[in-house]
Structure 1
Amino acid sequence: MPREAPYLAVADALHARIVAGEWATGERLPSRAMLAEAYGVGRNVTQRAVDQLIAEGLLEGRAGSGTYVRVPRERLRMVRSRHGAHSLAALKERGRAGAWDAHSEVRVAAPPAIAERLAIGPGDLCVRTRYEFLADGQPVQLSNSWEPMAITAGTPVMLPEKGPLAGRGVVERLRSVGVDVERVVELPRPARATREQANLLGIGVGDLVLRIERTLYDVDGRPVETADMVIPDVRREVAYEFAVDRER
């Protein structure tokens, strides 16, 4: 049988001590150096163990202060499925009301990385829309969306949250101007919250987040929209749900 990773063993030990009440809610844990000495492991092992418990919502890191036992919170689930993963409606929790704020800018020059994802030239003009999603009044997701202006310029649906199809999602808006979205590609990656993200999400700088790079393609394989979504790990868990094709 393979041995358990050292950091998981330390995480389990810390978890048991917290559950037993050795450290109360809101109390600071010993430093990582002290924990490393106590368990006879390297500091990188205790760092990973603490990160694991932060990801589980048991601890929280406070920049420049230390690690504390977190007040228990419910972690909401966001389901990404092959049906509607790209629509705003799909970002609402099951059984929970959702809301969002959005701000669009037109004629924004595409940075090189965005231009590559959209298969356009660096500096080509885009519509950029920044979203802040809320659940139960708390910020639970950020999204930064880019659409080439060449697709929607001069149409009533150029701005995602204004016009006749405001809030209806990228697919329906683009369909109204003759662009059929056929495929969605999402690349999820773990990351640490930047200062700007932490301020907007109400979490600590460096807290764990999930960054999803999403790109929509039309029937000709052309990228028509790309977005970076940032989801705080402590508030939400992301589940990918797919139907199984049955043989006939």
Structure 2
Amino acid sequence: MKALGKRSGWESRTDAKVPAMAEIAARLGIGEGDLCVRTAYEFLADGRPVQLSTSWEPYDLTAGTFIVLPKGVPHAGAGVVNRMAAIAGDRRGGTAARDPEGRSRHAHPATYYSDEGRPVETADIVVPAALCEIVYEIPVGR
């Protein structure tokens, strides 16, 4: 945002112990109805929404740790990779789906995995098609 001359920001709301819907459970490799921590994010540019994201983390993975809530200290706002690394070593990222024509406004799924291959977070990312094309890779780890 800075390179575009925009002021960036974000707002979020977290709900702990939310039962996983079938699709989310499948992406996280947990049972339908198993508990998750769900966080809804709104990313802003000059105070206007430019991206929405809803993420789910398996509650059993972070329950009883200091990172159970994404906004909890000392890793508030650090992102899933850094938060998970704080409790369980290195993590590596997944990649989001891609919409090269930039036509859709539907959610693009992204999932992060531990080095052992366990899903640690899944998210649905929504960006208005008129604003941009979604393409990203996040190299993490070794």
What range is the shorter-chain TM-score in? 0.7 to 0.9
The Cα of 1:98 is off from its aligned counterpart by: 1.3
User: Which residue matches 1:120?
Assistant: 30
The Cα of 1:136 is off from its aligned counterpart by: 1.3
Structure 1 regions of 5+ residues with no counterpart?
A: 1-91, 191-206, 244-248
Give, in whole Å, the separation in 2 of the partners of 1:184 and 1:239: 12
- Write the mapping of 1:154-233 to structure 2, written as runs, cut at 5 A: 154-189=64-99, 208-209=104-105, 211-233=107-129
Give, in whole Å, the separation in 2 of the partners of 1:238 and 1:187: 8
SS in structure 1 opposite 2:24?
helix
> If you compute each CA radius of gyration, which structure gives the higher value, 1 or 2?
1
Give, in whole Å, the separation in 1 of the partners of 2:137 and 2:78: 22
Q: What is the CA deviation profile of residues 172-216 of structure 1, one whole-angstrom value per residue up to 9, with x for unaligned ones?
A: 1111111421231322358xxxxxxxxxxxxxxxx8425321000
Structure 2 regions of 5+ residues with no counterpart?
A: none
- Write the mapping of 1:12-51 to structure 2, written as runs, cut at 5 A: none
Matching residue's letter, 1:94: A
User: Which residue matches 2:12?
Assistant: 102
Give, in whole Å, the separation in 2 of the partners of 1:181 and 1:242: 11
Structure 1 length-normalised TM: 0.50
Q: Which protein, 1 or 2, shows the higher relative CO under an 8 Å CA cutoff with sep ≥ 6?
A: 2
Matching residue's letter, 2:73: G
Q: Identity percentage over the alignment? A: 46
SS in structure 2 opposite 1:174?
helix
What RMSD, in angstroms, separates the aligned Cα atoms of the two structures?
2.3
Matching residue's letter, 2:33: G
User: Which residue matches 1:140?
Assistant: 50
- Equivalent pairs counted in the alignment come to 136
User: Which residue matches 1:38?
Assistant: none
Q: Structure 1 pair 165/242, CA: closer, same or farther in 2 (3 Å)?
A: closer
Q: What is the CA deviation profile of residues 145-177 of structure 1, one whole-angstrom value per residue up to 9, with x for unaligned ones?
A: 000011111111111022211011111111111
Matching residue's letter, 1:236: C
Does the 8 Å CA contact 2:93/2:138 hold for their aligned counterparts?
A: no
User: Which residue matches 1:202?
Assistant: none
Q: Structure 1 pair 93/118, CA: closer, same or farther in 2 (3 Å)?
A: farther
Which one has the bigger helix percentage? 1
